[in-house]
Chains A and B, each alone.
Chain A
Amino acid sequence: AQTVTQSQPEMSVQEAETVTLSCTYDTSESDYYLFWYKQPPSRQMILVIRQEAYKQQNATENRFSVNFQKAAKSFSLKISDSQLGDAAMYFCAFDMDSNYQLIWGAGTKLIIKP
């Protein structure tokens, strides 16, 4: 069975600094998709970034980028120039090819210090 592990229950970073959130996963599949979702206090789930496993190039989205290490089954999220609005729970999620569900990590609470 596929599992997703986020080992950092909470992280804090100074505003304007860079922070990296870690995520590892376990699967025997070769084709899959990885996501980072953000959940602010409103509890709305918002996509931050998506990575396709067959792509070697790391996905980037403005201040958000990932370090995807397929062999190590690692998918970390880097947030550059952290802003107060980045404060939220961040969930890593895994989607197997032709599968119908997202498998979620436990989440990391990100605190931004002004």
Chain B
Amino acid sequence: QKEVEQNSGPLSVPEGAIASLNCTYSDRGSQSFFWYRQYSGKSPELIMSIYSNGDKEDGRFTAQLNKASQYVSLLIRDSQPSDSATYLCAVNIQGQNFVFGPGTRLSVLP
């Protein structure tokens, strides 16, 4: 079992819709979780960090964490074509620093 898993996509949503990106992780002791956005040919850009169970909102983005289910998600409301990118989930796993998932490619269709 891989330590951080994401659906590779592509996930296609129409403009204005909600995009839902999911991530599961294997280490029950993990305490810190991060979402990054990576445009093609560019470096990852931090979107959200979340440390506690529940929801955390920042503008159009909401991160959701459920430690019991070892699940973290990212919701993007009112999706825009400029949101089209690869979204990387990162988990701070003890002794291994940040472990990234393979990323989910999101395509927002005009």
B is a partner of A: no
Binding site for A on B (CB under 8 A): none
Report A's interface with B, CB cutoff 8 A: none
